[in-house]
Amino acid sequence: MKKFITVITICISVFGLQAQELTSPNGNLEMKFSLKENGTPAYQLFYKGEEVIKTSTLGLELQDDSTSLMNEFEISDTKTSSFDKIWTPVWGEQAKIRNHYNELAVTLDQPSTDRKMIIRFRMFNDGLGFRYEFPQQENLVYFIIKEEHTQFAMTGDHTAYWLPGDYDSQEYDYTTSKLSEISSKFDEAWVGNASQTQFSKSAVQTALMMKTEDGLYINLHEAALKEYSLMNLNLDENSLVFESWLTPDAIGNKGYIQAPAVSPWRTIMVSDDATDILASNITLNLNEPNKIEDTSWIKPMKYVGVWWEMITGKSTWNYTDEFPSVKLGETDFENAEPNGKHGANTAHVKEYIDFAAENGFDGVLVEGWNVGWEDWFGHSKDYVFDFVTPYPDFDVEGIQKYAESKGVQMIMHHETSGAIRNYERHLDTAYQFMNTYDYPAVKSGYVGDIIPRGEHHYGQWAINHFLYAVKKAADYHIMVNAHEAVRPTGLRRTWPNLIGNESARGTEFQAFGGSKPNHVTILPFTRLIGGPMDYTPGIFEMDISKINPDNNSHVNSTLANQLALYVTMYSPLQMAADLPENYKRFPDAFQFIKDVALDWDESKYIEAEPGEYITVARKAKGTENWFVGNVNGTTPRTSKIKLDFLEDGKKYEATIYADAKDADYKTNPQAYKITKKSVISKSTLKLTSAPGGGYAISIFEKE
């Protein structure tokens, strides 16, 4: 393993119009950095000699500062170096990760203000990362960002898989269109949610996936988002230039910086093979190493929960329908009349614990266990939950003892309702409560507009909170799975107790009217680039009216597709989201969910095309067993896969859970076929996936 070696150090003190070049270790990618005549930094990116990012300028506009950090720069120093090291994640898609890049750090002086800024570029085989750095200095200490002006100039009218730009939500279906069509399709893409803020009809969110006419795949995202606001991208439709658009705070400012400081990394992945985007570790590699010394308490979990029944409307989070409003500590729940539909009652929770124990699940999530759900959202309510007071029918201690006796762990739920200030007030007590009752993990949630009012989910203030909650949880040995929080940017490397996030349109939307059938063929190229998603797969009953006659939603997926998601949507936290009674109806298919692993030694991305299909194989950690998943878009498709990832000379038994011949996500979603087959590394499999379908395969080594 090579150590950090400084290869060349060049000092240039003349006016900097010189181009600096940086290539990837394999030579496929090349970046050219230069200063324009007015001293504006610019870069250009090439893949295999072809331009993929046209000359794009870099810089930051500061509040109350006429010069800003935009131009009048001179290059005062450039340093190049190389890095090549392998590291071991606490959990992940693979046991070892190689961090291999060439680096160029350009120091820029601004003589008129006597200020300095560094732009650091890291070039990997699969893409480029760069960030702004503000070193300690006299004339740049505290400053406010008015806007970051980082450009990504596209070379053509690419196909994009995009979400509408928003300061508060990314719970949208993806729209696939040409770049030039974004603004005309924006209104159609913008569907209602509990908290949303629109700012430009040509804005999109990251990770943005694109495909060029020449078949190049380009992905724009960010890594290590800390003490900074989230970036959306705004497109100039005439020039096809994207520019960063940060999330403002309540008074319109976009970032408060105290030097020394760094911005998040801006990342550009490029390849002519879509599977390289899925396999890329750039986001993780640009984050700092693990900061948690003892990680023995951080463990992947497979769980069930008192959840889908509330999402579908069969039962309720609230205990009573008696109170139009609740005041914590004042409302008398003991004497209130129960509504008879409260999901989180002790007897029912025990049934879930039994089901979890019988089927080898690690945990049970229970939502609606604590008082406050009677008027929990939509009222900009500050003191909404205290996170420690159970409803009268939820026996915290009894449930804990019962779960322990069955070898199952309880998963806590903290819905904050966006009242972040209130959550922080209660955070220590809430985590202590979890320690007392042995809850190893919390699902937190941020539905609705943020309080303090005017702040956004993706502004610097909320972003600081999300990380604060994760760091504090680490002190209490608690794992965090945050819903409606900012999208992940690889921070799980530094804080591996951040085991999950939602931050996208999850399975819940299948019960709120449905998601597009190819949604899950795009998420791994976009949302999952930043980190795992608590997608909550495993729905076996697609007709939601069978659960709640008042809900006519249809789950746009076949049952085999639902199984495949445990492999294609990587996460160390996987839920079997459907009701136990639905699993009992299909015990042979449920077997795959029971068998599938959560943590992996290796992952092989076999074939992929955004919006169309993804096939992935993963080797379960510490075993010789493999699991394969294929998810398919709306066109039926036959894939031929080679099992050459299996070890030569070993014999395996494969169980294939595939769509039946007549399966279809809409008309016949529950038609599947299970076959068993002896396989070796030379075997190939030919399998057909239905519209919105797929297949899952478990491959166990024979004794």
Residues in contact with Ca ion by CB under 5 A are 483
Residue 611 contacts residue 521 (beta carbons within 8 Å): yes
Q: Is 447 in the site for ligand NOJ (CB under 6 A)?
A: yes
**CA 120/CA 103 separation, integer angstroms:** 7
Nearer of residues 90 and 366 to Ca ion, judged by Cβ: 366
Q: Is 455 in the site for ligand NOJ (CB under 6 A)?
A: no
Secondary structure letter of residue 427 according to DSSP:
H
Annotate each residue in 373-412 with x if it binds ligand NOJ (CB under 6 A) or - if it does not, as one string. ----------------------------------------
**CA 492/CA 495 separation, integer angstroms:** 5
Q: Where are the beta strands (DSSP E) in 273-399?
A: 301-306, 363-366
Nearer of residues 378 and 587 to Ca ion, judged by Cβ: 378
C-beta of 246: minimal distance to Ca ion in Å? 23
> DSSP letter string over 468-495?
HHHHHHHHTT-EEEEESSPPP-SGGGT-
C-beta of 534: minimal distance to ligand NOJ in Å? 8
C-beta of 219: minimal distance to ligand NOJ in Å? 25
Nearer of residues 447 and 685 to ligand NOJ, judged by Cβ: 447
- Residues 103, 109, 508, 664: which binds ligand NOJ (CB under 6 A)? 508
**CA 668/CA 664 separation, integer angstroms:** 5
Q: State which H helix or E strand residue 354 sits in.
A: helix 346-358
C-beta of 469: minimal distance to Ca ion in Å? 17
**CA Rg value for the chain:** 25
Q: Which of 374, 384, 370 is nearest to 320 (CA)?
A: 374
Q: Is 191 in the site for ligand NOJ (CB under 6 A)?
A: no
C-beta of 368: minimal distance to ligand NOJ in Å? 8
Nearer of residues 201 and 483 to ligand NOJ, judged by Cβ: 483
Residues 272-311 that bind ligand NOJ (CB under 6 A): 307
Q: State which H helix or E strand residue 460 sits in.
A: helix 460-475
Residues 69-128 that bind ligand NOJ (CB under 6 A): none
Catalytic residue among 21, 508, 647, 703: 508
Q: Which of 653, 660, 652, 606 is nearest to 629 (CA)?
A: 606
Size of the site for ligand NOJ (CB under 6 A): 8
Q: Is 415 in the site for ligand NOJ (CB under 6 A)?
A: yes
Residue 490 phi, psi (nearest 5): 90, 10
Among ligand NOJ, Ca ion, none, residue 530 binds (CB under 5-8 Å by kind)? none
**CA 691/CA 512 separation, integer angstroms:** 21
Q: Is 168 in the site for ligand NOJ (CB under 6 A)?
A: no
> DSSP letter string over 161-183?
EE-B--SS------EEEEGGGHH
Q: Which of 332, 303, 229 is nearest to 577 (CA)?
A: 303
Q: Which of 260, 341, 269 is nearest to 122 (CA)?
A: 269
C-beta of 250: minimal distance to ligand NOJ in Å? 24
**CA 268/CA 270 separation, integer angstroms:** 6
Residues counted in the chain: 703
Nearer of residues 512 and 586 to ligand NOJ, judged by Cβ: 512
**CA 300/CA 12 separation, integer angstroms:** 50
Nearer of residues 174 and 307 to ligand NOJ, judged by Cβ: 307
Nearer of residues 94 and 318 to ligand NOJ, judged by Cβ: 318
C-beta of 231: minimal distance to ligand NOJ in Å? 23
Q: Where are the beta strands (DSSP E) in 19-91?
A: 20-23, 29-35, 41-47, 50-57, 60-62, 74-87
**CA 67/CA 295 separation, integer angstroms:** 47
C-beta of 415: minimal distance to ligand NOJ in Å? 4
- Residues 93, 126, 166, 367: which binds ligand NOJ (CB under 6 A)? 367
Q: Is 578 in the site for ligand NOJ (CB under 6 A)?
A: no
3-state secondary structure of 265: strand
Asked if 37 is an active-site residue, the reply is no
- Residues 126, 249, 502, 659: which binds ligand NOJ (CB under 6 A)? 502
C-beta of 419: minimal distance to ligand NOJ in Å? 13
Identity of residue 14: V
Nearer of residues 504 and 628 to ligand NOJ, judged by Cβ: 504
**CA 375/CA 331 separation, integer angstroms:** 12
Among Ca ion, ligand NOJ, none, residue 415 binds (CB under 5-8 Å by kind)? ligand NOJ
Beta bridge partners of 50: 47
C-beta of 503: minimal distance to Ca ion in Å? 8
- How many C-beta atoms surround the C-beta of residue 31 within 10 A? 23
Q: Which pair of tokens denotes residue 402? A: 């019962």
**CA 349/CA 365 separation, integer angstroms:** 9
Q: Is 483 in the site for ligand NOJ (CB under 6 A)?
A: yes
CA angle 406, 532, 428 (to 5 degrees): 65
Nearer of residues 456 and 483 to Ca ion, judged by Cβ: 483
Nearer of residues 29 and 310 to ligand NOJ, judged by Cβ: 310
Q: Which residue number has the CB closest to Ca ion? A: 483
Identity of residue 110: Q
Q: Which residues form the interface with ligand NOJ (CB under 6 A)?
A: 307, 367, 415, 445, 447, 483, 502, 508
Catalytic residues: 508
